Amino acid sequence: MSEPIIAQKFPFVQDTRPGPYWWCACGQSKTQPFCDGSHKGTSFAPIKTEIAESKKVAWCGCKHSANKPFCDGSHSRLP
């Protein structure tokens, strides 16, 4: 698998508390937008990010953002 699976063509918008998060980069996780280990055996690895304060976060759902793990609107340019 050289391209990630598109989990959805819009962001996962969530109220997020401070702490570390592991964002799914492969698109196979059953716990989107976060990693559940489904990438094992692929060339993908989750992206760790630290959220410093409680806030609303738009996590990338299409897995094609140039600003991973956050949505940058790339989903609007996908076929």
Note the pLDDT tens digit of each residue in 18-69.
999 999 999 999 999 999 999 999 999 999 999 999 999 999 999 999 999 9
Per-domain residue ranges for the chain?
Answer: 12-71
CA angle 33, 39, 40 (to 5 degrees): 145
Instruction: Band the pLDDT of 79: cuts 50, 70, 90.
Output: confident
Give the integer Cα–Cα distance in Å for 72 and 26. 17
pTM for the whole structure: 0.93
pLDDT of 2 > 90? The answer is no
3-state secondary structure of 75: helix
Cβ neighbours around 18 below 10 Å, total: 10
Question: Which is nearest to 23 in space by CA: 37, 33, 9?
Answer: 33
DSSP state of 42: S
Instruction: Band the pLDDT of 1: cuts 50, 70, 90.
Output: low
